[in-house]
Amino acid sequence: MSAHSEDQGRLTRLASAIFLHTEHAIYAALGLLLALTAIVALVDAAGLTWEAMRALGGAQQILEVIDRLLFLLMLIEILHTVRVSMRSGTLTCEPFLIVGLIASIRRVLVITLQSSEIMHAKDWSPEKQALFQASMIELGVLAGLILTMVFAIFLLHRARDDGRPAGEEKPTGES
């Protein structure tokens, strides 16, 4: 091997190491920000839950608590993805499907409550009827999206050799 190719090989390894450390530093900063956001969301959700319990909350308050908890679950799933990506060096798609599934379920809950309020209104106007029909179409699209994501997650589980969910780390000592 010539001295030129050895220098080029060292330079490539050095650049690769710098990029890897930079990537890990960015992942760590992102993970820290996500963790702080999750803590703030948890405190907020706890406060909302306490207020709903004290006021014997109605459907709107309960939906808001569930919405915040599902948002928190999404943050935790993304944080898990960042952690696994840092350790394994790979990015898997299953956690993103799970986040999309949670987000779709959040939207279904909001639409359901809004539609329920429209249906119980005393004045049934053409605008309310159009809004209700649009909500039903959106619910249908979301149902199809949810089924598609669940099927994709199912296929990902079946495609794996070891039967563990994608993104789950191997126990130490396993190759």
So what's the pLDDT on residue 175? Answer: 47
So what's the pLDDT on residue 35? Answer: 92
Mean pLDDT of 29-53: 91
Q: What percent of the chain has pLDDT over 90?
A: 22
- What sections of 56-125 are H helices per DSSP? 59-88, 94-119
What digits encode the pLDDT tens for the residues 92-115?
Answer: 788 888 889 999 998 998 888 888
What digits encode the pLDDT tens for the residues 126-171?
Answer: 888 888 899 999 999 999 999 999 999 999 888 876 656 555 555 5
pLDDT at 55 over 70: yes
Burial 113-143 (b: 16+ CB within 10 A, else e): bebeebeeeeeeeeeeeeebeebeeeeeebe
So what's the pLDDT on residue 29? Answer: 92
Per the model's pLDDT, the better-predicted residue between 84 and 141 turns out to be: 141
So what's the pLDDT on residue 82? Answer: 81
So what's the pLDDT on residue 42? Answer: 93
DSSP type of residue 165:
P
Per the model's pLDDT, the better-predicted residue between 92 and 79 turns out to be: 79
